[in-house]
Amino acid sequence: MSPARPDPDALLRTAARASTGRLKVFLGAAPGVGKTYEMLSDAAARRAGGLDVVVGVVETHGRSETQAQLAGFEIMPRARIAHRGQPLEEMDLDAILNRHPALVLVDEFAHTNAPGSRHDKRWQDVEELLAAGIDVWTTLNIQHVESLNDVVASFTHVRVRETVPDRLLDNAEIEVVDLPPDELIARLKAGKVYVPHEAARALDHFFSKSNLSALRELALRRAAQAVDAQMLDDLRASATGGSWAVGERLLVAVGANPVASEVVRAGKRLADALRAPWTAVHIETTGERSGPAAAHLAQAMQLATQLGGQVLTLSGPSVVDGLADAAADTRATLLVIGRPQPRRWPWQRRLHARPLARRLPGLSLHLVQTSHAEAAGHGLRPPMPGIPAGLVPSFLATALVTALGQAIFARGNNITNVGLLYLLPVLFAATRYGLATGILTGLVASLAYNFCFIPPTGTFTIADPQNIITVGVLLLVAAVASQLAARLRAQALLAARSARQSAALAGFARTLTGMARPEALGDVLCAEAARLLDVRAVLLLGSADDLSILATTAPETPLAALDLAAARWSVDKGQPAGRGSSTLTACEWLFTPLMAGGATLGTLGVARGDGALPVRSDQLPLLGSLVDQAALALQRIRLEQEAADVRTLEERDRLRAALLSSVSHDLRTPLTAVLGSLRTLEPRDEEQRELLGVARAEADRLQRFVANLLDMVRIEAGAIALSIEPVDLAEAVASAVHDLRRALGTQPLRIDIAPDLPLALVDPRLFHHCLINLIENAARHGGEGPIAIVAARRGDGLDLMVIDAGPGLPPGSEARVFETFTRLEGSDRKGGTGLGLAIVRGFCKAMQLDAIAANRNDGPGACFTIRFPPDRLRQPSEPE
């Protein structure tokens, strides 16, 4: 690796910091250290310096010093949100976005918004403000930092639910508002610290000196860590040197248990310390999870996303196999696993660690000691084994075998054979109902065997040691068979489910390939999503500002305004929105954007009739696949349509070109014959001379009209093919005047074009036609006075003006003269076609020049200007 190569990721992060708004966090160890006060006084200094500062939301909690600091600030009114008839006040995000100040003050970073707000959390509001390029200052207590949540709770015994993801702090400027614990306690005693009502009882403990010291240390350390991370980014971006560790990668194993979130947080802290990327992985081994376990898992995975980790779910025959695969896939160097919570069985203790160490020798293992208190705190006890299923049929089978055995035994057979018979109910119970039932059946069977057959019969005494082995074997068979069967069953379940999904997706993909219309695709997508996920589905296409429903399975339920807002959000940001996402969660639908080729084509909404979460977390990949495939198919349909449109256009262009060429030939040929014949005729007397003169003049006019008509058709059809080359304006004007010499007759003409002007970059033929039309127009409407053709520099550009000495343009009609077939009232023009100036404008536009009509300001007459911007000019280089 070259030491001077900047790290692209670091460059991107630095660039993102530069283009979006900057976040500054006033971080405190505990309530009451004076964060809000500090923020306001700093902001007041900035405001005095001329910065545009507004207060988005600030809680003074009735403190008079803070209240006094607010004076002089522009305070944004809060939005009122009605929730169950109760009006709640929240920061008005949209008002601030519209107001767009340079800096906005937003107190209490970790605040949870009232239900019905756009975002669940205030930090999400802040993210949107930052994305809009607005700087934000905010306040935060250290206990609300997500990754420190456990740590703080461990010694304060106060757990806060409102947390802020660490990644927000990583890019923020952090100012620690520090107050020694003694002073804080003094302030508390003086009643200067606002304490939320519900926290009052925990107060004495929380504000102990040892707690406050620990919190203070945490705050200072977290701030130092953020500074460190930013410095490292800058260092990497500029590659100024130094060395940094390469490539630690963490894999955090997440189980479906109450300590999952704790393991995720521990993994995040470790990853931060190592400055390593990390992935939270869950290995799915059996069928669907029951309620609480699935909830723990979903919560942990969401937490991992919020903490900035990658999230991965894999299916595998066992946790160990799955983790091994995941470690190989992610090229992990360190695996973080939690010690299982209260052990139920002694062998579960080393469940993953030892086999994993064997499977992946290069992988370091990090065991997280999770707290039992955590589980207790969630009000959970270790699951009690309930009454195993299938006991009745299993015991009946045992009874049947006993009866059968009696019959066989009565015929004088060896009791060992009867012992073998007992394997049948045990295998039946173990394979069909699992381990517990199998073991119980094994016990019952061995007891029955002992009681009925082993001498002495009728007692539970065993005389022959050989028979003890038989009992042991029965139990062992039960254990092994049930394990094998359970694993097989789980595998079969998984395989069947994934086969079902694969088949559904394959069928879906096949259907999509044949689609030619977006409407048909929308119907199929909605129907398929509704069938596979058991939901109502709606597909909206278009941009965020212009969404329309393409297909729906629930036409009877229109989308509410909030639902539409979520749909627009998901299209605009390219992220899921609505119920089950982290944005606009109050609405009924979950919207997933259709992305293809970097663009968002639309969004698929799903909702359940009963108001439950539309999609379970284990169904999200399926929904993602559906949406991805539909997006690709939709893009393919669009591209095909575009290609077809282009073909149609090309065909039309070809026809038009052929028609133009044929028309121009058919019009010009007879004109040539007429004009040529008229010129060769010799008049015999004065009358004939006069008539011949009229005929020649009219034929000339007809010829010009035809030429203009053809040019106009080309402009209207957009069929102008440009061939740009540098043109000497003096030469171009000379050519035009030469071609018009006969039409101009004796009209005086003055040409004033300096020989050292830059060359004009134009299409010579189009420019020639422009000049001819302008000069002809001046000759026709400019009376008998002289026509001047003048080129003048205008800044770095150039004006070429054709000036006549006629009556000029009627006031107010200057712009109108360029319109097709405009003949101005009151002008004594004759013989014009009304096309010439329209052609001038059309050709000039094609060549990116401006055509301007005005009256002279130095006397009567009109002045038509072709304006060359600097990029249409070229100073000729010496041709040596």
Partner 1 sequence: MTLRLKILVIDDEPAIRRLLRGSLGHEGYDVIEAGDARAGLAAVSIDKPDAVLLDLGLPDRDGMELVPLVKAAGAALLVVSARDTTEEKVAALDLGADDYVTKPFDTHEVLARIRAALRARRQQGSEDSIVGFGEVEVDLAARRITRRGVEVHLTPKEYGFLAELCRHPGRVVSHAQLLRAVWGQGHENDVEYLRVAARGVRRKLEDVDVERSAIRNEPGVGYRLIA
Q: How far is the CB of 747 from partner 1 (least distance, A)?
A: 14
Which one, 320 or 766, has the nearer CB to partner 1? 766
Instruction: Choose which of 351, 365, 717, 751 interacts with partner 1 (CB under 8 A).
Output: 751
Which one, 327 or 733, has the nearer CB to partner 1? 733
Report how far residue 30's alpha carbon sits from residue 36's, in angstroms, rounded to the nearest whole number: 12
Q: How far is the CB of 864 from partner 1 (least distance, A)?
A: 19
Q: Both ends of the chain: CA-CA distance in Å?
A: 49
Q: What HEC string does 337-374 produce?
A: EECCCCCCCHHHCCCCHHHHHHHCCCCEEEEECCCHHH
Q: How far is the CB of 879 from partner 1 (least distance, A)?
A: 3
Which one, 543 or 661, has the nearer CB to partner 1? 661
Task: By CB under 8 A, tell whether 645 contacts partner 1.
Answer: no
Interacting stretch for partner 1, rule CB under 8 A, among 17-25, 362-370, 636-644, 665-673? Answer: 665-673
Give how many residues touch partner 1 by CB under 8 A. Answer: 43
Which one, 725 or 796, has the nearer CB to partner 1? 725
Task: By CB under 8 A, tell whether 275 contacts partner 1.
Answer: no
Interacting stretch for partner 1, rule CB under 8 A, among 358-366, 467-475, 540-548, 759-767? Answer: 759-767
Instruction: Choose which of 6, 390, 764, 834 interacts with partner 1 (CB under 8 A).
Output: 764
Q: How far is the CB of 226 from partner 1 (least distance, A)?
A: 59
Amino acid type, 148: L
* 280 contacts: CB under 8 Å, gap ≥ 6: 252, 254, 264, 267, 300, 301, 304, 309, 310, 311, 312
Q: How far is the CB of 513 from partner 1 (least distance, A)?
A: 44
Which one, 100 or 874, has the nearer CB to partner 1? 874
Which candidate, 793, 815, 789, places its Cα nearest to that of 801?
Answer: 789
Residue with tokens 């005729």: 681
Task: By CB under 8 A, tell whether 738 contacts partner 1.
Answer: yes
Q: How far is the CB of 685 from partner 1 (least distance, A)?
A: 22
CA distances from 772 to 110, 450, 720, 830, 849 (A): 73, 122, 18, 17, 16
User: Which tokens go with 715?
Assistant: 């402009």
Which one, 135 or 776, has the nearer CB to partner 1? 776
CB atoms within 10 A of CB 794: 13
Q: Which residues pair with 366 in a beta bridge?
A: 336
Which candidate, 716, 706, 738, places its Cα nearest to that of 833?
Answer: 706
Which one, 514 or 676, has the nearer CB to partner 1? 676
Instruction: Choose which of 7, 618, 728, 814 interacts with partner 1 (CB under 8 A).
Output: 728
CA distances from 803 to 232, 853, 857 (A): 68, 10, 11
Q: How far is the CB of 709 from partner 1 (least distance, A)?
A: 14
Q: How far is the CB of 662 from partner 1 (least distance, A)?
A: 9
Beta strand segments in 753-869, E: 759-762, 787-794, 797-803, 850-855, 862-868
Which one, 374 or 763, has the nearer CB to partner 1? 763
Instruction: Choose which of 208, 213, 664, 820 interacts with partner 1 (CB under 8 A).
Output: 664
Task: By CB under 8 A, tell whether 70 contacts partner 1.
Answer: no
| Helix runs in 411-542, H state only | 415-421, 423-433, 435-452, 465-513, 518-533
Q: How far is the CB of 537 from partner 1 (least distance, A)?
A: 57
Is 141 within 8 Å of 28 (Cβ atoms)? Answer: yes
Which one, 85 or 879, has the nearer CB to partner 1? 879
Instruction: Choose which of 363, 509, 737, 852 interacts with partner 1 (CB under 8 A).
Output: 737
Residue with tokens 């109450």: 258
Which one, 765 or 829, has the nearer CB to partner 1? 765
3-class secondary-structure state, position 28: strand
Task: By CB under 8 A, tell whether 725 contacts partner 1.
Answer: yes
Is 304 within 8 Å of 218 (Cβ atoms)? Answer: no
Interacting stretch for partner 1, rule CB under 8 A, among 278-286, 415-423, 606-614, 724-732? Answer: 724-732
Strands 759-762 and 873-874: antiparallel
CB atoms within 10 A of CB 109: 28
Largest CA distance in the chain: 159
Which one, 351 or 751, has the nearer CB to partner 1? 751
Is 829 within 8 Å of 823 (Cβ atoms)? Answer: yes
Which one, 377 or 831, has the nearer CB to partner 1? 831
Amino acid type, 62: G
Task: By CB under 8 A, tell whether 747 contacts partner 1.
Answer: no
Q: How far is the CB of 865 from partner 1 (least distance, A)?
A: 20
SS percent in the chain: helix, strand, coil, step 5: 50, 15, 30
Q: Mark residues 110-149: x for contact with partner 1 by CB under 8 A, - for none.
A: ----------------------------------------
Residue with tokens 């596979």: 532
Report how far residue 119's alpha carbon sits from residue 582's, in angstroms, rounded to the nearest whole number: 7
User: Which tokens go with 76?
Assistant: 């944004």
Task: By CB under 8 A, tell whether 727 contacts partner 1.
Answer: yes
Which one, 125 or 763, has the nearer CB to partner 1? 763
Is 144 within 8 Å of 164 (Cβ atoms)? Answer: yes
Instruction: Choose which of 414, 461, 498, 677 interacts with partner 1 (CB under 8 A).
Output: 677
Report how far residue 13's alpha carbon sits from residue 237's, in angstroms, rounded to the nearest whole number: 9
Interacting stretch for partner 1, rule CB under 8 A, among 348-356, 515-523, 543-551, 762-770? Answer: 762-770
Task: By CB under 8 A, tell whether 734 contacts partner 1.
Answer: yes
Instruction: Choose which of 767, 818, 843, 864 interacts with partner 1 (CB under 8 A).
Output: 767
Task: By CB under 8 A, tell whether 673 contacts partner 1.
Answer: yes
Which one, 226 or 770, has the nearer CB to partner 1? 770
Is 840 within 8 Å of 784 (Cβ atoms)? Answer: no
Torsion, Cα 126 127 129 133, to 10 degrees, reads 140
Is 598 within 8 Å of 538 (Cβ atoms)? Answer: no
User: Which tokens go with 333?
Assistant: 């160097």
Is 106 within 8 Å of 125 (Cβ atoms)? Answer: yes
Instruction: Choose which of 698, 731, 784, 819 interacts with partner 1 (CB under 8 A).
Output: 731
3-class secondary-structure state, position 232: helix
Residue 822: Cβ-neighbour burial (10 angstroms; 0-12, 13-18, 19+): middle
Interacting stretch for partner 1, rule CB under 8 A, among 171-179, 370-378, 408-416, 666-674? Answer: 666-674
Interacting stretch for partner 1, rule CB under 8 A, among 88-96, 140-148, 505-513, 667-675? Answer: 667-675
Rg (CA), the chain: 43
Q: Mark residues 841-880: x for contact with partner 1 by CB under 8 A, - for none.
A: ---------------------------------x-xxxxx
Instruction: Choose which of 765, 794, 823, 829 interacts with partner 1 (CB under 8 A).
Output: 765
3-class secondary-structure state, position 717: coil
Which one, 664 or 820, has the nearer CB to partner 1? 664
Q: How far is the CB of 669 from partner 1 (least distance, A)?
A: 5
Instruction: Choose which of 213, 703, 848, 855 interacts with partner 1 (CB under 8 A).
Output: 703
Interacting stretch for partner 1, rule CB under 8 A, among 14-22, 280-288, 409-417, 760-768? Answer: 760-768
Sign of the alpha-carbon dihedral angle for 529, 535, 540, 543: negative
Instruction: Choose which of 733, 800, 839, 844 interacts with partner 1 (CB under 8 A).
Output: 733
* C-alpha of 22 from chain center: 21
Binding site for partner 1 (CB under 8 A): 661, 664-665, 668-673, 675-677, 679-680, 703, 723, 725-728, 730-735, 737-738, 751, 753, 755, 759, 763-765, 767-768, 874, 876-880
